[in-house]
A and B are shown apart, each in its own frame.
Chain A
Amino acid sequence: MKSFIEKKIVIGAIIVLIAFIYILRLFYLQVIDTKYKYSADNNVLRYETQYPARGLIYDRYGELMVFNEAAYDLMVIPRQINNLDTLDLCNVLKISIQDFREKLYKAKVYSRYKPSLFVKQLSNEDYAILQEKLHKYSGFFVQTRTLRAYLQKTAAHVLGYVGEVDDKIVSEKPYYKSGDYIGISGIEKSYEEILRGQKGVKIFMVDVHNRIKGSFANGELDTIPIVGKNIHLTISAKLQLLGEKLMNKKTGSIVAIEPSTGEILALVSSPSYDPNLLVGRVRSENYSKLNKDSIKPLFNRALMAKYPPGSIFKIVESLIGLEYGVINPNTGFACNKSLVNCHNHPTATNLTMAIQHSCNPYYFMVYNRIIQQGVSTNRFKDSEIGVARWSKSVKEFGLGQLLDIDLPGMKKGRIPDVDFYNRWYGEGRWAFSTIYSNGIGQGEVEIVPLQMANFTSVIANKGYYYTPHLIKKIENTDTIPSKYLKKNKVNVKPEYFDLVTNAMELVVEAGTARRAKIKDIPVCGKTGTAENPQGEDHSVFIAFAPRENPKIAIAVYVENAGFGGTWAAPIASLMIEQYLTDSISRPDLEKYVIDYK
């Protein structure tokens, strides 16, 4: 195709044309449009970040748990400081000149042109005095912030706390600037982006006397902050508070879940702390105090403490044994104390009795049959095959697994597998006789309380669970993350769950957990007493209620409290009663539990 204009001319013309358009545009921006000419009258621009209010947090019944209070930060732009009466400002702020110089030096190191935090969270009185005199201190201005406040001193581990961003976050996430707040733990961290909203910026023109001359370019270039979304948790504030009260003076954890949804009703870790301690100016000081405390109040035991489960693990062994067909409901074993010790009880002639009386030698035998199925004549090899299969089955219940809960920091615990034992003892150097303690929930098995409660949900649901979570509703949206709507199924037939449920009801009616009985509410439970080589045994109890259409599944773990029926069972019983009836009919039992020892 012949063109009547040479191609080089066309290309050259395009270049010149675009350059011409750009120069015109620049002429408009730089010469004609007066919008940007702030500096003609010696004005400077001040960028004030508009912090949106952080989203509020409610409990499952819409009761407010976390709200905001105003706070005032004094900011400085070193370059804009002019004729400052330093002494006067120091008096207003009640700081020494030395202190003042240090702060200003730090601000200058950060930037001469950008605002830095000078004094954070002024008291209301100091703020009032400062406001009067602010016009004398050019380069300084006050920025309004909000701080978290709590209606009750409860659920500190669930809610988490908010703090200033560190340098690492600033460099990784461009949204955050030095001095901004971010959720550091708990729900505040998990739902940071929903709760925080979106910052805005207001640009002001300020004259040499630190007086605001009006908004820049009629506010056209300002950006409006977007308030954070409120969220509703699945927690019942009332139940949570009761749980914390019941754990008074004890170390351990309570986790309660609604089995039909996976919603967490209460998540208690004891000892805990007052969430108000980690707010504002006092946060870092209190944090280091709490962090050094020998009772570890910051440690969220519900998610992070790995415990031997004790006898509650016999339920898992029963279900797996039935499913594998190595036992049946009528299998009986003698209480042979030479295998493993036991207490005195009628001989377990069937599985129900074994659960009801928690017979150790019985489960030694059950676990033996699960592990050594005679697939290989070599007993080491045979155990290896058995452990591989068993370990996989146990993990289906969510045990020894990271459950994708909306709280950071969960620990996996441990369901030992072939790899583990090969590393521990060496390949071909272990067999059933080495690992039999797993059968009664001792040995190498370690589980965190959340997994125990989730496992209880699986029994209550007869074979499935929804991943436990704390989010009930995000305001202005109609759904929660889809991972919480997915059913996780377990490969065990429903009729085996019926059998286990019967036995667990007997445990409460006439077995080891009679203290958990509630009038008119059929409770199914299982006690555990986990051996603790370091000291007194741990007291464990899992339960769900009512028997038909269970509304609550709960796990209670009290460290060094001895027999499971003594402390853990009554705590669970009171929690269940409170949740199902919204009242407590046994104040004496409540007082007994709270007073402890």
Chain B
Amino acid sequence: MQRKVNVWTSIDWLTVTIYLILVIAGWLNIYAAVFDEEHKSILDISQSYGKQLIWIFAAFAIAIIILIIDSEFYSFFAYVVYGLLILLLISVLTMGKEVNGARSWFEIGSLRLQPAEFTKFATNLAVAKYLSTFHLKTYRIRTLIVVGILMIVPVGLIILQNDTGSALVYAAFIFVLYREGLSVGVLIVGFLLAVLFVLTLIASKISVLIGLLILGFLLFGIFRQRLREFIVAISIYVGLTIVLWILNEIFNYKTSMYNIYVASIVLSSIVYIVHIYKKKIAIGFWILGTLFISIGFTFSVDYFFNNVLEQHQQERISELLGVQSDPLGAGYNVNQSKIAIGSGGFFGKGFLQGTQTKYNFVPEQSTDFIFCTVGEEWGFLGTTFVIILFVFFLLRLIMLAERQRSTFSRVYGYGVVAIFFFHIVINIGMTIGLAPVIGIPLPFFSYGGSSLWAFTFLLFIFLRLDASRLELLR
């Protein structure tokens, strides 16, 4: 049974309408953000708003082409598209142009393309294709490993390009996995690890370590309810620490206190394990195991932060966590962003009347920090409107994803939701000081052809799949 539907009647026009509103609102705000009295015409293509208009028309053309192509194409060629984009990522590393420390751009004449933007929809296609394989169980470790590899390849290449912001987007796929059967525990563990991550960065490694230990002892005490065991356990640990400290002083090894704490954890754990094993205390294993995993995590976060992340990335993360406020660095941008948004008040200063956004973020005013212009010129009314519009957009996409008959279309749909959600949350969050400044664009608003086109690809492939959802079961 196979019948072709007419794309133009079965496409979800509501989503298309929201898309159009967002794109046009974005364009007007770019105009306002870089408004220049010398170049008043909004159509002036020497200015970024003029260029953006060209990108917008090109995006419309892309959308139409996507809709014309048969919906089976996307499923059939999912891996091919993925492979091509990976090749592009590799070649941009060697032949790309370096802009602001990131080698992630192809320059063709005056046009700059960023392959990392397009890899998002390609990876989404590949993941959807894989998860829709017949008889596949999402909760199997093997499945997760394959999905992990599908994501690690582009993530690794993007990090090599020095564009960590774009790489972090892939974390959003956890929602897709959750929807496809991963247990709710995954979400919770993810959340807890995030908290521990933040704590490691804010507080010193040593205090996190001590905190974890205390927590471990407390849990042990609560579950076992035996005061004597509890006191003995603590005494073993404290005693070992003191012995190690004295040894260190006597032999003058000059080891840090931190190493002493870790060493006594390891040594005392051996005693505990023996005890737990003898008495067969199941809960003890769980507590000890969790403790070890947490300590390992703390270690690796600390290592990652200090040895892997670049100076500017460290500063950006630290900034959000309030670890340090670098005068004219990242903290300065967020302060200016808050001033711009805050000064907008309830009704805003009016279209083109904003001044803050015009003189503070030269490099990022029309890209990463475009939401400031919305806040300054349109006030609380404007920002709320944009947020509600985005929420409406996302909920509509969830609805569309749920009504798919094929796993492929549903997984792809949730991927679209997850990617958009991540961008929106991080981008708006960073302008109001609630998320780290990791420099990813606000969908449809931020200036730039690559991101607009990539988001158009992402969305319209889904709309195309949705339009023919009744054609056949995949």
Contacts and interface: CB of A to CB of B under 8 A. Distances in A.
A389 interface: no
Contacts of B390: 19
B112 to A, nearest CB: 15
Given A1-B184, A23-B387, A79-B355, A30 B344 contact: yes
Contact of B383 (A1, A15, A26, A79): A26
Contact of B380 (A21, A27, A114): A27
A29 B349 CA distance: 15
B327 A200 contact: yes
Interface stretch (B85-93, B200-208, B230-238, B391-399): B391-399
Interface in B222-263: none
Given A36-B343, A113-B358, A113-B359, A25 B432 contact: yes
A11 B398 contact: yes
B179 A8 contact: yes
Contact of B335 (A8, A29, A221): A221
Contacts of B414: 11
A12 B398 contact: yes
B425 interface: yes
Contacts of A27: 380
Nearest to A112: B37
Contact of B395 (A15, A23, A203): A15
Given A23-B387, A79-B355, A39 B328 contact: no
A198 B342 contact: no
Interface string B353-380: 0011011100100000000000100011
Nearest to A5: B184
Given A15-B395, A201-B332, A221 B339 contact: yes
Contacts of B387: 19, 22-23, 26
Nearest to B401: A8
A31 B349 contact: no
A29 B348 CA distance: 12
Contact of B394 (A15, A36, A109): A15
A225 interface: yes
Interface residues of B, number: 52
B183 interface: yes
A16 B349 CA distance: 28
Contacts of B12: none
A355 B52 CA distance: 76
A122 interface: no
B398 A223 contact: no
A26 B382 CA distance: 11
A498 B342 CA distance: 77
A281 interface: no
Interface string A380-407: 0000000000000000000000000000
A174 B383 CA distance: 29
Nearest to A226: B327
A561 to B, nearest CB: 49
Interface in A226-251: 226
Nearest to A36: B342
Interface string A55-67: 0000000000000
A198 B327 contact: yes
Given A11-B398, A12-B395, A36 B339 contact: yes
Interface in B149-195: 175, 178-179, 183-184
Interface in A1-46: 1, 3, 7-8, 10-12, 15-16, 18-19, 21-23, 25-27, 29-31, 33, 35-39, 44-45
A111 B394 CA distance: 39
Contacts of A37: 342-343, 345
Contacts of A1: 183-184
Contact of A39 (B341, B343, B359, B432): B343
A22 B380 CA distance: 11
A424 interface: no
A224 interface: yes
A29 B338 CA distance: 7
Contacts of A19: 387-388, 390-391
Given A1-B183, A23-B387, A198 B359 contact: no
A224 B326 CA distance: 10
A35 to B, nearest CB: 7
B421 interface: yes
Interface in A500-554: none
B342 A111 contact: no
A7 B183 CA distance: 10
B328 A45 contact: no
B328 A29 contact: no
A26 B345 contact: no
A26 B339 contact: no
B434 interface: yes
B325 interface: yes
A18 B328 contact: no
B384 interface: yes
Contacts of A306: none
A201 B384 contact: no
A228 to B, nearest CB: 14
A457 B376 CA distance: 65
B402 interface: yes
B150 to A, nearest CB: 21
Interface of B: 36-38, 100, 175, 178-179, 183-184, 325, 327-328, 331-332, 335, 338-339, 341-346, 349, 355-356, 358-360, 363, 375, 379-380, 383-384, 387-388, 390-391, 394-395, 398, 401-402, 414, 417, 421, 425, 428-429, 432, 434
12 contacts: A8-B401, A12-B398, A15-B421, A26-B341, A30-B341, A30-B344, A30-B345, A37-B343, A44-B355, A108-B38, A199-B328, A225-B327
